[in-house]
A = this chain, B = another copy of it.
Amino acid sequence: MRGLFIGRFQPVHKGHIFAISYALNSVDELVIGIGSAQYNYEFENPFTAGERIEMLRLALKEEGLDLARVCIVPIPDLHQHKLWVEWVETLVPKFDVVFSNNPLVIMLFEARGYRVLRPRLIEREKYSGTEFRRRVAEGGNWKELVPNSVAEFLEKIGGIERIKLLSAKT
Give me the interface of A with B, judged by CB distance under 8 Å: 37-42, 48-51, 53-54, 57, 66-68, 71-74, 76, 79-83, 86-87, 89-94, 102-104, 107-108, 162, 165-166, 168-169
CA distance A166 to B106 in the complex (A): 12
B104 touching A50, Cβ below 8 Å: no
A81 CB contact (under 8 Å) in B41, B67, B93: B41
A-B contact pairs, 12 of them (CB 8 A): A37-B91, A39-B80, A41-B82, A50-B89, A53-B71, A53-B73, A57-B93, A71-B72, A73-B74, A74-B74, A82-B90, A107-B162
A53 to chain B, nearest CB (A): 5
Query: Could you say which residues of chain B place their CB within 8 Å of the CB of A67?
Result: 67-68
Q: Is the interface of A mostly helix, strand, loop or mixed?
A: helix
Given contacts A67-B68, A73-B74, A107-B165, A83 and B93 within 8 Å (CB-CB): no
CB distance from A65 to the nearest CB of B (A): 10
**In the complex, A94→B156 CA distance in Å?**
13
Task: Say whether A94 contacts B165, CB under 8 Å.
Answer: no
Cβ of A166 to closest chain B Cβ, rounded Å: 7
Which residues from B are CB-within-8-Å of A73?
49-50, 53, 72-74
User: Nearest Cβ distance between residue A115 and chain B, in whole angstroms?
Assistant: 19
- Tell whether, in the assembled complex, residue A93 and residue B165 are in contact, meaning their CB atoms are under 8 Å apart: no
Tell whether, in the assembled complex, residue A41 and residue B89 are in contact, meaning their CB atoms are under 8 Å apart. Answer: no
What is the distance, in angstroms, from A93's C-beta to the closest C-beta of chain B?
4
Find the residue from A81, A82, A102 having the highest chain B CB count within 10 A: A82
Q: Given the complex, which residues of B lie within 8 Å of A37, measured CB to CB?
A: 91
